[in-house]
Structure 1
Amino acid sequence: MSAPNARSILEYGLASGNTGLVQLLGLCPLLAVSNNAVNALGLGLATVVALTLTNAAVSLLRRLSGRDVRIPAFVMIIAAVVTSIELALRAWLPELHAVLGLFIPLIVTNCALMGRAEAFASRHDPARAALDGFATGLGFLWVLLAIGALREAIGEGSLFAGAGRLLGLPALELSAPDYPGFLLALLPIGAFLTLAGLVALRQGWRQRRGARA
């Protein structure tokens, strides 16, 4: 079987195999951290880096570990990468690290990392594996960011509030001072409803495209 090309890898990670919108993996951080856009962006970028580095490392080491120990080896690689990311965030973005808290080390438990390591990275060269990890992480990031932005905009009438303090990017901050707010969007049920809405929109779009075809 021929190796997948870059376009098919990107399409799968961003759309047809999207972890958050199609496979519904990693829902714990997807729903818990998406109460605003800054938190969503921070965790999403950390996940992109974790998936990219993990896939590349697994691919590089795939011939050095036997099949009997491959799962423990994958777990060790994932844990080492995520720990490095957490330490980097603590050193360079301590306020964002404090806000995200436990959800940074919990990236280790995201099924997408183990799934892509086993299904793709362990069977392909490092370049394709890294691209697959990047595409998968980017797909997770855009869904996480969409949910966070929608919940923040509807719930508080703002967008990227706190970006100056947490990310050093005050230019991203937008707000509507007279907006009354909508508490339901900020509660946990708001995360489930927003994700359900995105899934429904995707399914409706696919059905319409299939009907036209």
Structure 2
Amino acid sequence: MNMQTFRESAFNGLWKQNPGLAQLLGLCPILAISTNMVNAVSLGLATILVMALANLAVASLRNFIPYEIRIPVFILIIAALVTVVDLAFNAWLHSLYLVLGIFIPLIVTNCIVLARVEAFAAKNDALSSTIDGLLMGLGLLWVLAVLGGIRELIGTGTLFSGIEMIFPDASALVIFGDDYPGFLITILPPGAFFALGCLIALYNAINTRLAARARMRPAASAEAESATPEARPAAG
């Protein structure tokens, strides 16, 4: 993978084909687990690990997997990796494991993971596929982090609530003070839809503005060229 290909993959994963904002995949965990930033980022990191390793495994074995049974084999590979991640959370981050609950095993059925395995890893080399999985996962991670941060900040006035489940000596940041009454609807299911809808609207507005600027550049260049006087031959 050369630098140009890497830049294209990074732009696609982080922005153009962002799983949460552009493709609208995996909305169930995005909406359900983003009640605070710690939960959202933890699930995002678990998904990144599964996506990268699943893409690596499928890309390495793609020439040995019969086309007719590729989907069951892909799901089996993803399920094995999710089982490892699930057991690791249970062993080393048990409190967080109890909070995330069923959403770690549900990574097996997450459309984001299976879509990238089928669309990219099954057709490309191992290195490119692993990088693609990482970048797509990072695209989902920043959406989860922003969504969880917004909901937690408005809903409870804090950030990193629950961080002690990962780092026992850490504590949440109180942004609006202890007397902040909170805005309950933000951390309820309706608040998840409202917050994600605002993010998607902002994403579309930025894309529209960028597209308008891209259309204006050729017109501006043409006007500049037409305004430049042509060089005249020197008189003999």
Contact persistence 1:162–1:170 (CA under 8 A): no
Q: Please, which runs of 5 or more residues in structure 1 have no aligned partner?
A: none
CA contact (8 A) 1:56 1:126 kept: yes
1:113-152 to 2 correspondence within 5 Å?
113-152=113-152
Tell me the alpha carbon deviations over residues 21-47 of structure 1, each in whole angstroms, 9 at most, x when there is no partner: 100000000000001111101101000
Residues 57-81 of structure 1 deviation map (CA, whole Å, 9 limit, x = unaligned): 0001101111011111101000001
Q: Which amino acid aligns with 1:185?
A: T
Q: Distance in 2 between matches of 1:95 and 1:202?
A: 34
Preserved CA contact (<8 Å) 1:13 1:135: yes
Tell me, in whole angstroms, the C-alpha distance in 1 between the residues paired with 2:101 and 2:45: 15
Range with greater deviation from structure 2 (73-82 or 203-212):
203-212
Residue 140 of structure 2 aligns with an amino acid whose one-letter code is F
SS of the equivalent of 2:91 reads helix
How large is the RMSD of aligned CA atoms in angstroms?
Answer: 1.6
- Cα offset, 1:172, TM superposition: 6.3
CA distance, structure 2, for counterparts of residue 147 and residue 169 of structure 1: 24
CA deviation string 1:85-120 (max 9, x = no partner): 000111110000010000000011110111100110
Deviations 1:134-180 (A, max 9, x none): 0111111110111111000000000011202x111654620131211
Aligned to 1:195: 196
TM-score by length of 2: 0.86
Offset at residue 205 of structure 1 (A): 1.1
Aligned length: 211
SS in 2 for 1:181: coil
Match for residue 47 of structure 1?
A: 47
Change (3 A) 1:49 1:169: farther
Structure number with bigger Rg: 2
Q: Does 1:82 align with 2:75?
A: no
**Larger relative CO (CA 8 A, sep 6+): 1 or 2?**
1
1:26 counterpart residue number = 26
Please give the secondary structure, in 2, of the residue aligned with 1:5.
Answer: helix
Cα 1:202/1:170, change in 2 over 3 Å: farther
The equivalences for 1:49-68 within 5 A come to: 49-68=49-68
CA distance in 2, matches of 1:195, 1:111: 18
Identify if the C-alpha distance between structure 1 residues 170 and 161 changes in structure 2 by more than 3 Å, giving closer, same or farther. farther
Structure 1 residue 189 displacement after superposition: 0.5
* Contact residue 89 and residue 97 of structure 1 kept, 8 A: yes
Aligned to 2:225: none
Letter in 2 for 1:105: P
Q: TM-score, normalising length from structure 1?
A: 0.95
Question: Which residue is equivalent to 1:174?
Answer: 173
Counterpart position of 1:109: 109
State the identity %. 50
Q: Distance in 1 between matches of 2:171 and 2:28?
A: 26
Specify the code of the residue in structure 1 equivalent to 2:182: G
**Distance (whole Å) between structure 1 residues aligned to residue 170 and residue 21 of structure 2:** 29
